[in-house]
Amino acid sequence: MKLSLIQMNSQPDRAYNLQQADRLMRAVVERDAPDMIVLPEHFDWSGGTAAQKRAAADDMPGGAAYRQMQAFAAKHRIWIHAGSLLERIPGEERIHNTAVVFDPEGTEVGRYRKIHMFDIEAPDGKTYRESEAVKRGSDLLVYEAHGLRIGAAICYDLRFSRLFDRLASKDVDLIILPAAFTLQTGKDHWEVLCRARAIEFQAYFAACGQWGRFPGPEGDERQVYGHSLVCDPWGHVVARASDGIGFVTCHIDPEQVSRVRKLIPMSSHRVDLSSFPLRFADEGRRWP
């Protein structure tokens, strides 16, 4: 399968973002003719306050971003893993941060709603409180396209290996992670974590990021890392985007998945440790 990642610089302006997405998607179809396009987290709306995010959330199915992705998939006969959109929840104040997948007919085949909320204070003192606007999801998503089994995650999920262990239990060949990783954490952790997930779960790992600056909730400037990339099951980075908006394309080879799993048959070696007792070396010691 030929896979293309779209790297954007989304703003708190849906019309601007959708024009940017359409331009980049049309360009990659013309140049590379991929089988699947992936968009980053928050491709329809990025930045602003929690109240602005809630107000910008759209219905699903329906809504401008949803309809645009659906129509593009059907027109170009292509799979689209639509990064994440702001999804309105009927009867609730908070919203979902949701990835939506469309097949080449334009039919929605699944949604994944982000589970791990990015509530931290960054090293530069900026605070991120995703849970003020976003309600966590409660389901995982695995779907099949072009003979591949594909698992879904979003951004901060990257740090929580148990999510990927659950996806790996369904024998996924490829994991897709749209993201908007901060510059500070991204420059030290992004590639390391992506490669680690590919190696430990012996699957391709495609991480599609936002890049550049956007306004934060206090009108302050925030910056995201970009560097969208694809790792193969051996942990090699086989495609990488440069700084700036644009796209990158590579082939996902199921034979490479098979080769790696035969070389190191981790699935047959994996032990369920949930029932194993955990003992400290010094049982009498008081541990904090």
> Which residues lie below 8 Å from residue 108, measured CB to CB, with a gap of 6+?
61, 70, 100, 101, 102
Give the active site residue among 53, 87, 114, 130: 114
Indicate the DSSP class of residue 227.
-
Type of residue numbered 134: V
Helix (H, G, I), strand (E, B) or coil at 201: helix
- CA contacts within 13 A on the Cβ side of 177: 35
Cross-strand partners of 178: 208
**Burial grade of 183 (CB within 10 A; 0-12, 13-18, 19 or more):** middle
Type of residue numbered 177: L
Give the active site residue among 53, 87, 130, 155: 155
Rounded to whole angstroms, the Cα distance separating 232 from 150 reads 14
Residue 155: active-site member = yes
Helix %, strand %, coil % for the chain, to 5? 30, 30, 40
Give the active site residue among 41, 53, 87, 130: 41
Residue 126: active-site member = no
C-alpha radius of gyration, the chain, whole number: 19
Residue 105: active-site member = no
Rounded to whole angstroms, the Cα distance separating 192 from 185 reads 11
DSSP element (H, E) containing 238: strand 237-240
Using left for φ > 0, alpha for ψ between -120 and 50, and beta otherwise, residue 156 falls in alpha
Helix (H, G, I), strand (E, B) or coil at 209: strand
On whether the CB atoms of residues 39 and 81 are closer than 8 A, the answer is yes
Residues marked as catalytic: 41, 114, 155
